[in-house]
Amino acid sequence: METYQVELKGAEAEQIGCRSRLYSLLSSGFRFPSAEIYEGAKTGKFAAEIQAVIANLPYSGLTAGELGRETGLSCEEFQSNYIGLFEVGNNDGPPCFLYEAEYAGGRMKVMEEVLRFYHHFGLRLSTEKRDRPDHLASELEFMHLLTCKEAKAMVDGKESGAYLKAERDFLRFHLSDLLMAVGKRVGGNRVLFYTDLARLAENFCQKELAYLLTIGKGGKSD
């Protein structure tokens, strides 16, 4: 997907920006780990950046956890853990696939539904990354882009209701269920970085949905 940046002004717009940034960070964490992601995990920079964003969300109750616990691994070992956990399986069991259709059933139906969301908002998958549209990283990146568009609408003084509704619907019908399924599979695994990442992502999206449902009724979220 294309990258999206907005110059934010005002506390409310900045909070939306933090929500958007966390979606982006989580998306990068669930892709095959680049040297940059590995170094971020190794040095604690990735966890620190996530914690800084969490501190400015419009609700409380999230923590980055210990996303740097596997600092003793080499980059090759870190990448091997990703492949074992998400693609081919490891000593803890079969792979925990990161594709929604592997849990929802009906691959083409799921991908068509997800693509319908993407295309409605003028988004196209990157030809370089070649991810399936129902990959967890792609779905998180879509939420990053939606929240960016929400922030831009607010900054421009335009109606943002369509973006808020899309965020709620995509979480309810796609992303939340996928993260719940991934969280269950990853929870008993010894690849601790991804155990923490999956737990954080699931909790974040639960908070997000509750927040979006609350503001949709004109209230405030804790």
CA 123 to chain centre: 17
Per-residue pLDDT at 157: 87
Per-residue pLDDT at 221: 46
Whether residue 160 contacts residue 153, with contact meaning beta carbons closer than 8 Å, is answered with: yes
Per-residue pLDDT at 219: 47
Only one residue has tokens 């922030």, namely 151
Rounded distance, CA 151 to CA 154, Å?
5
Whether residue 70 contacts residue 76, with contact meaning beta carbons closer than 8 Å, is answered with: no
Buried b (16+ CB within 10 A) or exposed e, 202-212: bbbbbbbbebb
Rounded distance, CA 102 to CA 94, Å?
13
Q: Which two tokens stand for residue 178?
A: 């996928």
Rounded distance, CA 78 to CA 76, Å?
5
Per-residue pLDDT at 162: 94
Whether residue 117 contacts residue 131, with contact meaning beta carbons closer than 8 Å, is answered with: no
- Alpha helices, DSSP H, located in the chain: 11-29, 35-43, 45-54, 75-83, 101-104, 107-120, 136-155, 161-170, 176-187, 192-216
Per-residue pLDDT at 10: 64
Q: Mean pLDDT, 10 residues at a time, over the chain (222 residues)?
A: 54 87 97 94 93 94 83 90 94 92 89 94 74 93 94 88 96 96 88 92 97 74 46
Between the alpha carbon of residue 73 and those of residues 28, 103, 124, 193, the distances in Å are 19, 31, 35, 11
Amino acid type, 212: L
Is pTM beyond 0.85? Reply is yes
The full set of domain ranges for the chain reads 11-216
Can you name the CATH fold of 11-216? Answer: TorD-like (1.10.3480)
Rounded distance, CA 134 to CA 172, Å?
15
CA 69 to chain centre: 20
Q: Is 219 helix (H, G, I), strand (E, B) or coil?
A: coil
Rounded distance, CA 141 to CA 129, Å?
12
